[in-house]
Structure 1
Amino acid sequence: MRSFALSVLREPPFTGAQHDDTEAVARESEDWAQRLGLINNGQRLRRADAAGLASRACPQAPRDRLRLLSDLISWLFVMDDACDEDGLGSDPTRLAPTVAALLDVLDRHGEPGAAPACGPLGPALADLCRRVRVYRRPAVLLRFTAAMREYLLALLWEAANREHDRVPPVHEYVQMRRHTGGVFPSLTLTDLALDGFPPAERRADPQWAALDLLAANLICWCNDVFSYRKEHRTGPDAHNLVTVLSAETGDETAGMRAAAARFNHELGTYLTTESDLLAQHGEAVRPALATRRNWIRATYDWSLAAERYA
């Protein structure tokens, strides 16, 4: 699938780089996940290479902020694997108590007192919230917890689809994929790592919101094209852009090419929107634009290298 992706996806025209401390942060993230009981051994998490993805997303961040992002991505991978490979996400009634307990963690902003129904996922999420709070940026903590809520509720949508063997229509999938991909909490912690938040007076600009949606689409659709074969080894899963487009066209090859075409078109739209924002708002938005560029490029490069999709 990698050779197909390389042949049909337009390479993002952004510079790629990795943080110098990637290997050390990878070890620390694995130790964190084991200490909190998220994993029994590091094999599956090592294949996912959370630190490699994080270090590409913020190659020049302070090490503690890179660790925070790497640990979040590790948590998201563990949750994703629990839902997709370990069966937690196949039945909404089974998933619901876990989601409710994790929402309780978010409501408390990581303070003690959460319900125990989510096992080690809860304490690990609480730890992430507490570490975000250390930076004394209340708006960042609120943005992070809000994005995590959207992610968790979107997992219930996926579970309901699986329960009924439902393939969602394309427009619905595109909307929900931005949330199931965990893009927005990851962007929040990358903005924190790089001090990449747009100025407050710019954040309500509809064009800025449009750019965030475009970036989220590109990150998720790139992942979908690279991961399609891996996700179908144990049977088809409805939650991939190739799958939903194939259901519309009735042909898998046509669906694969349509997914790539959507990515390539969206990348062109992203570049135009980014250029317009820079022209209107100047250097004040450049750090925030760099965060989104980094994530788009990071996803492409990480997808080529990670054993997760080998």
Structure 2
Amino acid sequence: MRTFAVSALREPPFLARRHDSTDLVAGESTAWAQSFGLIGSGHRLHRLRRADVAGLAGRACPEGPPEGLRLLADLISWLFVMDDACDEDGLGAAPTRLAPVVAALLDVLERHGDFTPAPPGGGPLGAALHDLCRRVRARGQSALLLRFVSRLRDYLLALLWEATNREHGRVPSVAEYVQMRRHTGGVHPSFALTDLALGGLPGDPVRSDPALVALDTLAADLVCWCNDVFSYGKERTAPDGHNLVTAIRREAGQDEDAALRAAADRFNHTLLAYLAVEPQVLATGEPAARTVIDARRNWIRATYDWSMVAARYA
């Protein structure tokens, strides 16, 4: 699938960079996941190492203090473990199985990283999530903490949508999938921690500007569409329809090759739309506009480069 993706996807025209502390953070983040019991020493450890979490984080956040990169890498580790539990380990096979876990994790989020112990019902996932929230809270950026918690809540509720689809063998329409993929991808909480690593910019009033909202949405779509095309070779045998290629194939009645090209075309057209929005963001006059644009460019480029080398979707 990489051969097709490289030939069909337009390479993002952004500078490829990597944080100097990436290799150090790789070991630290794996140790963090082990310390909370998210992974042991067998299959799950091997699976997380194959994901090259720090490689993705280091490309997506190539500057800023190492502790900011470490926080982002730990979040991505948590998201990968949660996704794998749902997609491969059976947790997300039915909403009745997943719902108690989601409820416990929502309880964690509602504490907003306070100094009480993590609720016991959340298990290792809850304890690790509480640690993430506490570390975000400790940075003193209350608006960003609320944004982070809100986006993770969207992610958890979207996992229940996926579980319902799996239980009923349902493939969503393309429009429905496009909307929900923005949440199931876990991209927006990752954007929030990237912004935190760069100083917590911008604030809520600026973030409500239509151009910035459009920039974030298009960047998230690009990350997700890139991921879907690269991962389709692995996911086409999965017993659900949570991939853009699968949704297009079912809705349009296309063969696999045509659906793959349609998904690649969606990425390429969205990249052009993204590039058209960047000048609108700069025109807002917001001093942090260039920082925001660079951060979103890094994420788009990082996903493309990481997908070509990581073993997660091989």
Please classify the TM superposition score into its range, dividing by the shorter chain length.
over 0.9
Match of 2:197 among 188, 193, 200: 193
CA contact 2:141–2:200 (8 Å) conserved in 1: no
Match of 2:81 among 78, 81, 85: 78
Whether 2:155 is the aligned partner of 1:151: answer: yes
Identity fraction in percent: 66
Aligned residue runs from structure 1 range 2-151, under 5 A: 2-41=2-41, 42-111=45-114, 112=116, 114-151=118-155
- The residue identity in structure 1 corresponding to 2:247 is V
Q: Distance in 1 between matches of 2:199 and 2:5?
A: 32
Count residues with an aligned counterpart: 309
Match of 1:227 among 224, 231, 239: 231
Tell me, what secondary structure is at the counterpart of 1:291? Answer: helix
- The residue identity in structure 2 corresponding to 1:281 is G
Tell me, what secondary structure is at the counterpart of 1:158? Answer: helix
CA contact 1:196–1:287 (8 Å) conserved in 2: no
1:246 matched residue in structure 2 = 249
Summarize deviations over 1:204-246 as a string: whole Å, max 9, x none: 211211111101100000000000111234x343110000001
CA contact 2:61–2:295 (8 Å) conserved in 1: yes
1:214 matched residue in structure 2 = 218
Q: Distance in 2 between matches of 1:105 and 1:248?
A: 38
CA contact 1:101–1:114 (8 Å) conserved in 2: no
**1:254 to partner: Cα distance:** 1.1
Whether 2:309 is the aligned partner of 1:305: answer: yes
Q: Distance in 2 between matches of 1:150 and 1:191?
A: 19
**1:116 to partner: Cα distance:** 2.7
Q: Distance in 2 between matches of 1:280 and 1:107?
A: 34
CA contact 1:199–1:284 (8 Å) conserved in 2: no
**1:117 to partner: Cα distance:** 2.9
TM-score normalised according to structure 2 size: 0.95
> Any gaps of 5 or more consecutive residues in structure 2?
none
Q: Distance in 2 between matches of 1:204 and 1:305?
A: 36
Tell me, what secondary structure is at the counterpart of 2:92? Answer: helix
**1:283 to partner: Cα distance:** 4.5
The 1:220/1:294 distance shift into structure 2, 3 A limit, reads same
**1:114 to partner: Cα distance:** 4.7
Aligned residue runs from structure 1 range 254-293, under 5 A: 254-281=258-285, 283-293=287-297
Q: Distance in 2 between matches of 1:309 and 1:134?
A: 35
